[in-house]
């Protein structure tokens, strides 16, 4: 790969997070010499002063904005105001800062939650504005979608080179397994391993299990983001996905098999399913970025479960000492 980013000063917001660590590592592997991982404890991007200080101190030529306040259906339902405000204000201030400080290129990560609740499957980027998002994710999804409007408006008025990516649900080693904020794969994995450890014969899962999801392995997502940072300068958003759609019920069965849980799954149909179906059309990513996800879903799931088993064992050993 002829890396056009190698000599650029690059800042990655959320650079210490699940996805951000992979993006930073990939940039370094590609030969980038000046990559700074922006962490909240040093720069709280909700605060304008922190955003200004970030640009003054690091003078990035490329800004990759991954930082987000995010969680599963439960976390979204409990924090709609916070998720809307913090995601909107972080992104809006970073984009304005990029304009003000003359950043050469800004890459903004959106979310599949921005798509309308009833979007024809597979989701095409041109359908993004054809309806209201699924209710439980709407504040988060709309906040992130507003950043696309800002990026395109700044391109039109100021000539700003800002690109926008729409990834599906991510998963992989190092994911968030906190039951209060985790997404479906880590949540169900933890429930299965907890049940095995405690000798429980059943676990509870939200909804009917009929909703479908698409998942992208975190290292594949990092590859797509870095490709966009290097290769893409267009105004149109680009989906990043794997092309593999699976129902939550089938996902549950797969996780149970891979963890060794043989008990019963009790579906709590009083809880929401979320969006009925999610699967992306990834034609644009392949055409414009040369991107196609490489990781087989079952292989990626096994790596994720194995990583979490090891993390649990390490944590238990530390507590016992």
- Tens digits of per-residue pLDDT, 72-84? 778 888 999 999 9
Q: Is residue 79 part of a domain?
A: yes
Q: Is residue 102 part of a domain?
A: yes
Residues marked active site are found at 140
Residues recorded for the chain: 321
Count: domains in the chain: 1
pLDDT at residue 316 is higher than 70 = no
- Half-sphere exposure (CA, 13 Å, Cβ side) for 143? 22
Range of the domain at 102: 9-175+214-244+273-297
Q: Is residue 206 part of a domain?
A: no
Say how far apart CA 54 and CA 126 lie, in whole Å: 34
- Tens digits of per-residue pLDDT, 151-167? 999 999 999 999 999 99
pLDDT given at position 32: 96
pLDDT at residue 317 is higher than 60 = no
Q: Is residue 266 part of a domain?
A: no
Q: What is the CATH number of the domain that holds 36?
A: 3.40.50.720
Q: Is residue 250 part of a domain?
A: no
Which residue did the predictor score with more confidence, 179 or 305?
305
- Tens digits of per-residue pLDDT, 180-230? 888 899 999 999 999 999 999 999 999 999 999 999 999 999 999 999 999
**Helix ranges, the chain (H):** 18-29, 48-58, 73-78, 80-100, 138-158, 184-198, 218-231, 248-259, 283-289, 297-320
- Tens digits of per-residue pLDDT, 229-286? 999 999 999 999 999 999 999 999 999 999 999 999 999 999 999 889 999 999 999 9
| Under 8 Å between Cβ of 117 and 135 | yes
Q: Is residue 15 part of a domain?
A: yes
* pTM listed for this prediction: 0.94
Q: Is residue 65 part of a domain?
A: yes
Q: Is residue 313 part of a domain?
A: no
């Amino acid at each position: 790969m002829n890396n056009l980013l190698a000599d650029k000063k690059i800042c990655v917001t959320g650079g210490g997070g699940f996805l951000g660590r992979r993006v930073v590592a990939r940039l370094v592997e590609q030969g980038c010499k000046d990559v700074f991982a922006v962490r909240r404890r040093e720069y709280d991007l909700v605060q304008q002063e922190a955003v200004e200080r970030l640009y003054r101190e690091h003078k990035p030529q490329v800004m990759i904005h991954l930082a987000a306040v995010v969680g599963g259906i439960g976390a979204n339902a409990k924090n709609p105001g916070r998720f809307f405000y913090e995601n909107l204000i972080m992104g809006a201030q970073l984009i304005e800062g990029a304009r003000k400080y003359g950043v050469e290129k800004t890459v903004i990560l959106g979310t599949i939650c921005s798509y309308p609740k009833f979007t024809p499957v597979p989701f095409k980027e041109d359908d993004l504005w054809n309806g209201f998002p699924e209710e439980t994710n709407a504040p988060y999804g709309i906040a992130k979608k507003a950043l696309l409007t800002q990026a395109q408006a700044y391109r039109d008025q100021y000539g700003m080179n800002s690109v926008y990516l729409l990834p599906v649900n991510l998963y992989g080693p190092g994911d968030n397994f906190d039951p209060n904020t985790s997404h479906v794969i880590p949540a169900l994995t933890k429930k299965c391993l907890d049940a095995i450890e405690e000798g429980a014969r059943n676990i509870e899962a939200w909804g009917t299990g009929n909703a479908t999801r698409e998942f992208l392995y975190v290292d594949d997502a990092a590859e797509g983001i870095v490709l966009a940072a290097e290769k893409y300068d267009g105004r149109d958003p680009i989906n990043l996905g794997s092309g593999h759609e699976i129902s939550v019920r089938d996902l549950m069965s797969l996780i149970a098999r891979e963890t060794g849980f043989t008990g019963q799954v009790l579906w709590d149909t009083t809880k929401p399913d979320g969006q009925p179906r999610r699967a992306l059309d990834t034609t644009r990513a392949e055409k414009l970025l040369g991107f196609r996800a490489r990781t087989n879903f079952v292989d990626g799931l096994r790596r994720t479960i194995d990583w979490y088993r090891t993390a649990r064992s390490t944590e238990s050993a530390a507590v016992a000492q």
